Structure 1
Amino acid sequence: MLDYDLNERGSVSLYEYLYQRIRDDILSGSIVAGEHLPSKRGLAQHLGISVITVEGAYDQLVAEGFVRSVPRRGYFANELPRAATVPRLKDAADRDAGSVVPGRAFVPVSDLPKTSLDGARLWQRALKTVLASESERELFAPAPAQGTARLRRAIAAHLRGSRGMDVDPEAIVIGAGAQLLDTMLVQLLGHAKTYAVEDPGYLRLTRIYQACGCEVCHIPLDAEGPDLRELEKSGADVLHLMPSHQFPTGRVTSIARRYALLGWASQRSSRYLIEDDFDCEFRLAGKPIPPLAAIDAPGCVIYTNTFSKSLSSALRLAYMVLPDRLMKRYRQELGFYASTVSSIDQIVLAHLLETGEYERHVRRVRKRARDARDALVAAIAQADLEGRVRLEGADAGLHAVLAIKTDLDEHDLLRVFGMPAGCVSALADHLWCAEHGVSDGLRRLVVQYLALEKELGGELAEILRTIL
């Protein structure tokens, strides 16, 4: 029986402390691969806590891939590859906590009117405040190539509080959108490298790399993430991936696969992983999935994120965190660039992060997405579609996949639904190579929660009931 002293948890919640202890025991080998964990009820009785607390900890461990759930048998520890590790932050707050300082993301579908409008209003208020209260000398001074020190400090504090990352502000580079940073990374890493992207995935990535004159290969996904054998066969030097919430499948890369990918990257000094953490703040259940960069002991992960999902795609504000060896090269080879984001915009964003306004906005957006998801799940249940329709990746972020058992193809379904643009798309439309699609006979549609009004969820479920 697992035996933990809950009095040592400090200010950490019971569920998070239990999750951390079991996770650390699996990483250290104290809980061996394949070991049967105590039942939820048994562990709850042993520790004197509620079953719901144990269930929350187990669910998070399953979501991150440390543990697997076997129906009618219980929970078992997964086998993890040997890999170097980095220390975890003991006091990292969860995503709902306020910023440490009173204080991304590709947008595959940009038609998010309510969120964009809310973000615009938030930005407008902050801009007025900053223009009225900040020094003109600071507002109109040219920003350094990496971005203003103030914004980089605010982002580092934000990453520590929301993602558990201990980031040096000097390792952060701010740019006008993810696409600009991607092209800058090609200049930094080299045009002669082969760049791998996930398939299905964000098709614009392929076009960006091709436009830079790079060779691009497409890596299929399996249940645990990017297919490692296909990656090794591809001859790729760089893999661009979305491990915490893959677009469009919604899959989360398992912890075992993450360590395996780090192992792949560390085999050669020329290999890198570009981690796109595009909607990391919007996991709808449990703790956020820790970023790959948080366990990157070899120093081969380039972490990228933007504020497009949370604020608006119209605000071209993105950033990347470079490993030490790349940061030195950036200063030597690309430090001549002028900052691509105005000083005023950088100060406004820093103000939102520092005051906690940004965190409060994120919580409002997350609640809206959760309400849309709950309405869709309830509508599917009411329409009695169990066994014929399932929602995949429902809790992982701002989109999910609707898997439907029907003879109609995905585009026929879209025509029947007649949903607003940006609300629902065919998963097949996000494939570069048709052979990388799932061949289980189900049709899959990508549903964007923030574009799906509550009433549209009921309408969609009713159409499905009629069709099926």
Structure 2
Amino acid sequence: MLDYNLEKRGEASLYEYVYQQIRDDIVAGRIAAGEHLPSKRAFASHLGISVITIENAYSQLLAEGYICSKPRRGYYACELSDAPVLPLAAGGIDRDTVSVGPSAHDVNGRTEQFAPLSPSALEAARLWQSALRATLTSEDEREIFSPAPAQGTARLRRAIAHHLRGTRGMNIDPDNIVIGAGAQLLDTMLVQLLGADKVYAVEDPGYLRLTRIYQAMGCNVRHIPLDDGGVDLSTLQKSGTDVLHLMPSHQYPTGLVTSIARRYALLSWAAERPGRYLIEDDFDCEFRLAGKPIPALTSIDAAQSVIYTNTFSKSLSSALRLAYMVLPDELMERFRRNLGFYASSVSSVDQVALARLLESGDYERHVNRVRVRAREARDGLAALVRKTFPAGEVSIEHEDAGLYCTVVAERGTDGSSFAQALTRSSIPFVDISECYWCADGASAPENSSQILVQYDDLSPKVLNTLELQLMEALCNLSE
């Protein structure tokens, strides 16, 4: 039986401490791969704590891929690949500091089409207007109207580094951060930095515009399929890839979370050859609705082979074009040497306004309110699906991983009516079959229909309308 001294947990909650201890034991090999973990009830009784505490700890370990569940047999430790990784942080991540996600047609601030502003977007717009007014009236004019350095203002870079330390467990030097006007600009700068002669790979299904960006820069692009653990390693190893662009914490559009074993294997792949890099597109990173956010791949990268990218465009407004990347030391020196002549693409006013939001805590309070609404929408959608499809012909996957979920309907069943009802209810959604790059011979699964639905589009009123449309559609099918 595992035995942990709960008096040493410090400020960590009980479930966080138990999660950390088991996680560290699996990483260190003290819990062997395949070893059976104690049952929740027996473990809780042994430690003298509640079963729900053990359940929460096991759920987090399961979400990150440290353990697996076998029906009617319990939980087992997963095998982890050997990789050069940093020690895992003991303090845990503040899961109450999160960001707001994009619309169903928007990835990393890259808007696919116009849509009515959601309640979260309206709230964000008012927050940004207030921040701009405060910046213009109270900040030093020399700071807000002077040209920003190529990397961005030191104040915003410090604020972002502090934000990443609290939300993603990343100990980042602000001097390694580069601010840019949107993720697309940073993608093109990375090609300039790494070289267009490299072979770039993206996930399939994935964000198709990313392929077109790399192709427009003259790059050779590969498309790597996904399995249950993340990017398929066998295909990646055969592809001749130099740079892999992936979304490990919440993949678009599937919602898949890359397992910890696969993360270690990817770090090993990158470390095998000089010049290999992983671009961690931390889309939807902090938006987990249950448990702790999934730690960033960068937070365990000891070989400095991960380039971290993220954006505030999706949490405030895509119109703001606020994104950033964190470069390894070697690439940061290359940036200063080869790209340091660029003027900053984001105004100093906007950078100072964003820094104020991060420093004051207004940003965190705003996104926490949005997360509460997202949980309510998630619960409402789950209840509606259970009520309307009690036989399970429609199911929801990855419902806790971020601010959208995947709705799966088995083909040839009444589940096909779900997408029709969404359309009639004017609820935006993404058909995942349209996110495959079929030019590489890939094809969408034929046995089921998978669609992406964002919680921010599901108010109680909208869910009521959806239920009526579903009942009507099901009645028509039965006639």
Match of 2:463 in 1: 457
Determine helix, strand or coil for the equivalent of 2:320. coil
Give the total of aligned pairs: 464
Match of 1:366 in 2: 371
* TM-align CA RMSD: 2.1
Residues 1:2 and 2:5 are matched in the alignment: no
Q: TM-score, normalised by structure 2?
A: 0.92
The alpha carbon displacement at 1:109 in A equals 5.9
The alpha carbon displacement at 1:91 in A equals 3.1
Match of 1:83 in 2: 83
Greater CA deviation, 405-414 or 155-164? Answer: 405-414
Maintained 8 Å contact 1:95/1:163:
no
Question: Matches of 2:465 and 2:278 in 1, distance apart?
Answer: 41
Question: Matches of 1:18 and 1:227 in 2, distance apart?
Answer: 31
The alpha carbon displacement at 1:399 in A equals 1.1
Question: Matches of 2:251 and 2:109 in 1, distance apart?
Answer: 11
Match of 2:19 in 1: 19
The alpha carbon displacement at 1:458 in A equals 4.0
Maintained 8 Å contact 1:389/1:405:
yes
Determine helix, strand or coil for the equivalent of 1:143. coil
Residue 333 and residue 59 in structure 1: after superposition, are their counterparts in 2 closer, same or farther (change >3 A)?
A: same
Residue 181 and residue 52 in structure 1: after superposition, are their counterparts in 2 closer, same or farther (change >3 A)?
A: same
Residues 1:286 and 2:291 are matched in the alignment: yes
Among 342, 349, 360, the residue aligned to 1:355: 360
Deviations 1:72-130 (A, max 9, x none): 1110000011112212333343221599xxxx825566645222211110001111111
Among 406, 413, 418, the residue aligned to 1:401: 406
Maintained 8 Å contact 1:369/1:398:
yes
The 5-angstrom pairing of residues 186-265 of structure 1 reads: 186-265=191-270
Match of 1:341 in 2: 346
Maintained 8 Å contact 1:44/1:51:
yes
Question: Matches of 1:251 and 1:313 in 2, distance apart?
Answer: 24
Question: Matches of 1:343 and 1:80 in 2, distance apart?
Answer: 44
Deviations 1:215-269 (A, max 9, x none): 1111110000010111111111111000000001000000111111111111111
Maintained 8 Å contact 2:180/2:345:
yes
Deviations 1:179-222 (A, max 9, x none): 00000000000011111000111111011111111111111100
The 5-angstrom pairing of residues 149-168 of structure 1 reads: 149-168=154-173
Deviations 1:129-156 (A, max 9, x none): 1111111111111101000000000000
Maintained 8 Å contact 2:20/2:90:
no
The alpha carbon displacement at 1:382 in A equals 2.0
Deviations 1:307-342 (A, max 9, x none): 122111111000000011100100000000000000
Question: Matches of 2:427 and 2:282 in 1, distance apart?
Answer: 21
Question: Matches of 1:445 and 1:245 in 2, distance apart?
Answer: 15
Maintained 8 Å contact 1:410/1:444:
no
Match of 2:130 in 1: 125
Residue 374 and residue 286 in structure 1: after superposition, are their counterparts in 2 closer, same or farther (change >3 A)?
A: same
Residue 54 and residue 273 in structure 1: after superposition, are their counterparts in 2 closer, same or farther (change >3 A)?
A: same
The 5-angstrom pairing of residues 134-153 of structure 1 reads: 134-153=139-158
Maintained 8 Å contact 2:111/2:318:
no
Maintained 8 Å contact 1:115/1:312:
no
Maintained 8 Å contact 2:224/2:235:
yes
Determine helix, strand or coil for the equivalent of 1:314. helix
Determine helix, strand or coil for the equivalent of 1:88. coil
Question: Matches of 1:38 and 1:411 in 2, distance apart?
Answer: 41
The alpha carbon displacement at 1:411 in A equals 9.3
Determine helix, strand or coil for the equivalent of 2:319. coil
Maintained 8 Å contact 1:151/1:347:
yes
Determine helix, strand or coil for the equivalent of 1:320. strand
Question: Matches of 1:175 and 1:427 in 2, distance apart?
Answer: 29
Match of 2:104 in 1: none
Consecutive unaligned residues in structure 2, runs of 5 or more: 100-106
The alpha carbon displacement at 1:423 in A equals 2.0
Among 179, 182, 185, the residue aligned to 1:180: 185
Determine helix, strand or coil for the equivalent of 1:325. helix
Q: Which letter does structure 2 place at the counterpart of 1:357?
A: D
Residues 1:105 and 2:108 are matched in the alignment: yes
Question: Matches of 2:424 and 2:293 in 1, distance apart?
Answer: 30
Question: Matches of 2:448 and 2:98 in 1, distance apart?
Answer: 41
Deviations 1:403-458 (A, max 9, x none): 11233899986455325667212111111128544536111111111122233334
Question: Matches of 2:339 and 2:203 in 1, distance apart?
Answer: 28
Question: Matches of 1:199 and 1:32 in 2, distance apart?
Answer: 33
Match of 2:301 in 1: 296
Q: TM-score, normalised by structure 1?
A: 0.95
Question: Matches of 2:120 and 2:182 in 1, distance apart?
Answer: 18
Question: Matches of 2:312 and 2:20 in 1, distance apart?
Answer: 29
The alpha carbon displacement at 1:163 in A equals 0.6
Q: Which letter does structure 2 place at the counterpart of 1:450?
A: D
Residue 418 and residue 350 in structure 1: after superposition, are their counterparts in 2 closer, same or farther (change >3 A)?
A: same
Q: Which letter does structure 2 place at the counterpart of 1:367?
A: V
Determine helix, strand or coil for the equivalent of 1:418. helix
Question: Matches of 1:293 and 1:335 in 2, distance apart?
Answer: 24
Greater CA deviation, 276-285 or 59-68? Answer: 276-285
Question: Matches of 1:120 and 1:174 in 2, distance apart?
Answer: 21
Determine helix, strand or coil for the equivalent of 2:23. helix
Q: Which letter does structure 2 place at the counterpart of 1:105?
A: N
Greater CA deviation, 80-89 or 176-185? Answer: 80-89
Determine helix, strand or coil for the equivalent of 2:267. helix
Match of 2:449 in 1: 443
Residue 174 and residue 420 in structure 1: after superposition, are their counterparts in 2 closer, same or farther (change >3 A)?
A: farther
Match of 1:74 in 2: 74
Consecutive unaligned residues in structure 1, runs of 5 or more: none
The alpha carbon displacement at 1:280 in A equals 1.1
Question: Matches of 2:418 and 2:15 in 1, distance apart?
Answer: 41
Residue 440 and residue 415 in structure 1: after superposition, are their counterparts in 2 closer, same or farther (change >3 A)?
A: closer
Residue 230 and residue 410 in structure 1: after superposition, are their counterparts in 2 closer, same or farther (change >3 A)?
A: farther
